[in-house]
Amino acid sequence: MGGLEWLPQLFDSVFLPESVKQEVLPGKAVRGDAAIAHAIEVGWIKVWSEPIEPLLDIDLDAGETDCINIGLSHANKVLSMNELDAQWLRKKSCELSVRRQ
């Protein structure tokens, strides 16, 4: 279904953590790897450059864990991930927001 090309039309900035980049590039034969490499090369996907605060240490791969930790520590940023992770993150973000108030 190739939704990668929609991202620059939907979002001002698109980031991925270095761990995700390493999971899909270079030449890991992951679906969409050429499109991701091109998007990074032309600059509309950027590699997250800030330190990632380890708010959660859960049994996921490094890329998923980094995405969730970025989302939890930067609530004002948009994070794209699979639907199950997005549902879990929304739930956790709401819980953290309630606790902070």
83: domain range? 8-100
| Position 3 in a domain | no
> Pick the residue with more confidence: 21 or 28?
21
Residue 70 lies in a domain: yes
- Please check whether residue 18 lies inside any domain of the structure: yes
Handedness of CA 29, 31, 33, 35 (dihedral sign): positive
Q: Flag whether 2 is in a domain.
A: no
Asked if the peptide bond before residue 51 counts as cis, ω within 30 degrees of 0, the response is: no
Q: Please write down the HEC assignment for all residues of 61-96.
A: CHHHHHHHHHHHHCCCCCCCCCHHHHHHHHHHHHHH
pLDDT tens for residues 32-60?
788 888 889 999 889 999 999 998 878 88
The residue behind tokens 């950027």 is 46
Number of domains composing the chain: 1
Joined together, the tokens standing for residue 90 give 């929304």
Is residue 1 included in any domain, yes or no? no
